[in-house]
Amino acid sequence: MKKEILERFLRYVKIDTTSDEGCETCPSSAKQFDLAKVLKDELVAMGLKDVSLDDNCYIMATLPANTDKKLPNIGFISHMDTSPDMSGTNIKPQILENYDGTDIVLDKNNNVVLNVKEFPELKQYVGQTIITSDGTTLLGADDKAGIAEIMTAVDYLIKHPEIKHGNIKIGFTPDEEIGRGVDKFDVTKFDAEFAYTLDGGGVGELEFENFNAAHAKVIFNGRNIHPGYAKEKMINSMILAMEFNSMLPVNERPEFTQDYEGFYHLIKMEGSVENSSIAYIIRDHDREKFEAKKVFIQQAVDFMNKKYRANTVVLELRDQYYNMREQVEKVFHVVETAKKAMELVDVVPVIVPIRGGTDGARLSYMGLPCPNIFAGGHNFHGKYEYVPLESMVKAVEVIVKIIELYSEK
List the catalytic residues. Answer: 81, 176
Handedness of CA 23, 25, 26, 27 (dihedral sign): negative
Distances (CA, A) of 379 to 140, 193, 202, 208, 264: 11, 32, 10, 21, 22
Q: CA 19: distance to chain centroid?
A: 13
First to last CA, the chain: 27
Question: β-strand 194-200 against 94-96: which pairing, if any?
Answer: unpaired
Q: What angle do CA 360, 364, 365 make, to 5 degrees?
A: 125
Helix (H, G, I), strand (E, B) or coil at 280: strand
Query: Hey, which residues does 318 pair with through a beta bridge?
Result: 215
Q: Give the integer Cα–Cα distance in Å for 408 and 401.
A: 11
Q: Which helix (H) or strand (E) holds 169?
A: strand 168-173
- The residues near 139 (Cβ < 8 Å, ≥ 6 apart) are 13, 91, 93, 131, 132, 133, 377, 385, 386, 387
Q: Give the integer Cα–Cα distance in Å for 31 and 40.
A: 15
Question: CB of 385 within 8 A of CB of 139?
Answer: yes
Strands (E) in 71-226, as ranges, are 74-79, 94-96, 104-107, 112-114, 130-132, 168-173, 194-200, 205-207, 212-221
Q: Torsion over CA of 119, 125, 130 and 134, rounded to 10 degrees? A: 10
Question: CB of 81 within 8 A of CB of 19?
Answer: yes
Residue type, 363: L
Q: Which of 181, 39, 130 is nearest to 386 (CA)?
A: 130
Q: CA 179: distance to chain centroid?
A: 8
